[in-house]
A = this chain, B = another copy of it.
Amino acid sequence: MTLAAGLALGLSFGNAAVADSHDMARYKEMFEPIPSIAPIPADNTQTPVKIELGKMLFFEPRISASGIISCATCHNPALGFADRIPLAVGHMGQVGERKTPTVLNAALLEAQFWDGRAATLEEQALGPIEADIEMAMPLDEAVQRLKEFDVYQEMFAEVFGGDDPIKADNVAKALASFQRTLLTPNSPLDRYLAGDEQALTDKQKRGMRAFVDRGCVACHRGPALSDSQFHRIQVPGSTDLGRYLVTGEEHDRHAFRTPTLRNVAVTYPYFNNGQVATLDEAIRVMGREMLNLDLPDDEVADMVAFMHALTGDMPEFAFPALP
């Protein structure tokens, strides 16, 4: 972001004063709280049974070739719906090329995967089932396997109706419905945006101001702290062409969708290659890559504190009982 752009957004550079209520209104426009319910597409409305079915499928390892890998293996609810290892590990222990992104609040993003090759959760859901290095299960086999279970026969029929309700499209719809419930409201930032001045510490408020003043908010904005757009960035150790592999456009070389910063403190390690372990280092890398400067230590420490203010309430639910 240029200085002019910063000024156009009404940002104040310079002294990092503790936020006041005037600031709060300003921050409210930039960040927005987590909504109480995610946007629901007209062609995949939510019902409790559809959500429950989606939850079951999310935990269902028998739609993987090995029989032990489910969505929840890499998007592990105990680990912030990610895996906390640098690169995803899948079928037969194969190591992928990218860090597992969290599913938390993915419903608030308008581009899925690091390279945005899916626009919606429905488009995203089936990819990892089929991918050779993830669950490695051809979709028709996954569908066949689900058909073996009376419980799935009944639930798909109830949810989707029709002659042949167990089909890949419906698997995707159910999974997407469940994933839309995985929001994390009530973070310190959300409580602050709702009017509680005390929800953020002074250090976190300084970090928030620095985050805004440095222009980080240009991309990390809105309820997910992501613009769902693609930006070129080549973090240390990465040769990944990113979005270019999807579009073939030169300007997409090494471009990645802005990741959400929601729950960033519990979804380490960082970046497309997962090679950065700490928030401190991740913020310094962003300073160098996007702003071409070494951020001062105190500012980095303040921003780390602000990042911790983005951890919300994790979704709570009982384990599904699979058939």
Contact surface of A with B, Cβ cutoff 8 Å: 56, 59-62, 66-68, 73-74, 76-79, 83-85, 89, 91-93, 266, 314, 316-322
Residue of B nearest to A73 (CB): B68
The contact of A321 among B59, B60, B74, B314, by CB within 8 Å, is B314
Contacts A67-B85, A89-B67 given: A78-B314 contact, CB under 8 Å? no
11 pairs, A vs B, C-beta closer than 8 Å: A61-B83, A62-B85, A67-B83, A67-B84, A68-B73, A68-B85, A78-B319, A78-B322, A93-B93, A266-B321, A314-B319
Let me know if A79 and B322 touch, CB within 8 A: yes
Which residues of B have CB within 8 Å of A322?
78-79, 84
- Most interface-central of A316, A320, A321 (chain B CB within 10 A): A321
Which residues of B have CB within 8 Å of A92?
92-93
Q: Once the chains are docked, how many angstroms separate the CA of A84 from the CA of B321?
A: 12
Given contacts A56-B78, A68-B73, A91-B93, 10 further A-B pairs with CB under 8 A are A61-B76, A61-B79, A62-B84, A62-B85, A67-B84, A68-B83, A68-B89, A78-B320, A92-B93, A266-B321
Q: Once the chains are docked, how many angstroms separate the CA of A317 from the CA of B316?
A: 10
Contacts A61-B83, A318-B316 given: A89-B76 contact, CB under 8 Å? no
Which residues of B have CB within 8 Å of A85?
62, 67-68
Q: Once the chains are docked, how many angstroms separate the CA of A28 from the CA of B4?
A: 83
